[in-house]
Amino acid sequence: MKNLPPCRWLPAALIALALGGSAGAQPGGEPPHAWVFGSWTGGIFPAADTSGPRCTGQPSVIFTRDVILRAPALDIAYRQRLIETVTASPEALEFRLVPVPPQNTPLGPRVLPDIGFGCPGGPNSLRVERRGPDEIVFPDCGEFPAPLKRCVGN
């Protein structure tokens, strides 16, 4: 690339840089929140079963690469929240979630009351702290006062 003019190698270098990984990605191409991927039980009430179909069939929270799903207290359907950004520290994650538009209700447009996690930062933020290899908490989040434990196996 030394002998090529910048107009030839600069676009290729920028594309390679963009495809090489995102800011904050861990070695191996994993996102910073990969350690939290999976199904978690508890949070609303203390975790009971952490293995088998009872846990994996009805988890309280599910973390994926791009989405967090949470079980509301009074509904069957999970609330889906898209992840906008994640900031990681050694024992915690700070999620910024994509804002949810209000839904039409008989009382006018409103954001569902249980769309967030009851955290001080509002419905579009979530802090996750690791308490052990398979235990996390959402500190100061009123809707998830108890620790969550990872669902393992079937």
Confidence at residue 58, expressed as pLDDT on a 0 to 100 scale = 85
Closest CA to 116 of 140, 136, 97, 92: 97
The answer as to whether 139 is a domain residue is yes
Q: Write the pLDDT tens digit of every residue in 24-79.
A: 444 568 899 999 999 999 998 888 888 888 888 889 999 999 999 999 877 788 99
Lowest-pLDDT choice from 15-19, 41-45, 73-77, 83-87: 15-19
Three-state DSSP state, 19: helix
| 149 in Cβ contact with 135 (< 8 Å) | yes
Which pTM value belongs to this model? 0.76
Helices (H), 20-152: 53-57
Q: Domain for residue 14, yes or no?
A: no
Q: How far apart are CA 103 and CA 71, in angstroms?
A: 18
At residue 104, the pLDDT reads 86
In a domain, 112, yes or no: yes
**The pLDDT value given to residue 105:** 83
- Confidence band of 13 (pLDDT split at 50, 70, 90): very low
Beta carbons within 10 angstroms of residue 114's beta carbon:
16
pLDDT in the model for residue 49: 82
Q: What's the pLDDT at 139? A: 96
Q: What domain range includes position 69?
A: 27-150
Greater model confidence, 27 or 4: 27
CA distances to 31, 75, 77 from 106, in Å: 41, 18, 20
pLDDT of residue 22 exceeding 50 = no
88 belongs to a structural domain? yes
H and E: helices and strands count for the chain:
2, 10
pLDDT tens track for 100-151: 888 888 888 887 777 889 999 999 999 999 998 899 999 999 999 999 999 9
Total number of domains constituting the chain: 1
Can you tell me the distance from the alpha carbon of 7 to that of 42, in angstroms, rounded to the nearest whole number?
Answer: 55
CATH no. for residue 108?
2.40.128
Q: Is residue 140 part of a domain?
A: yes
